Amino acid sequence: EADIYQTPRYLVIGTGKKITLECSQTMGHDKMYWYQQDPGMELHLIHYSYGVNSTEKGDLSSESTVSRIRTEHFPLTLESARPSHTSQYLCASSESTRQKIQYFGAGTRLSVL
């Protein structure tokens, strides 16, 4: 069982609101990732981090931002939510030497009205 947690699991919010999706892991992994996934579709990498104070944008352009102040915590923020941001957001982590094995949280399903 992976020790990576995402909150909230579900979020329904109005357009223009600022939101932060939380992700924490207790495995001491250096590498963490945020993916966006529409139902039944592939995962798209939107942000990743290789350690504290290191963040990079992924392959899919996103208006969200991330921070990595502590190893275990990798929150994602949307300053002004829009209906186009409606999706599922998955957080993952991996060991530095075994990046191909990623451990995922259960996801946050975001609906912006």
Partner 1 sequence: GESVGLHLPTLSVQEGDNSIINCAYSNSASDYFIWYKQESGKGPQFIIDIRSNMDKRQGQRVTVLLNKTVKHLSLQIAATQPGDSAVYFCAERVGNNRKLIWGLGTSLAVNP
- The residues of the shown chain that bind partner 1, judged by CB under 8 A, are 2, 40-45, 48, 58-59, 90-92, 99-107
Q: How far is the CB of 4 from partner 1 (least distance, A)?
A: 8
Q: How far is the CB of 14 from partner 1 (least distance, A)?
A: 25
Q: How far is the CB of 80 from partner 1 (least distance, A)?
A: 27
Of 17 and 55, CB closest to partner 1:
55
| Long-range CB contact pairs, 35-43, < 8 A, 24+ | 35/89, 35/90, 35/91, 35/92, 36/60, 36/62, 36/87, 36/88, 36/89, 36/90, 37/87, 37/88, 37/89, 37/90, 37/107, 38/87, 38/88, 39/88, 43/90
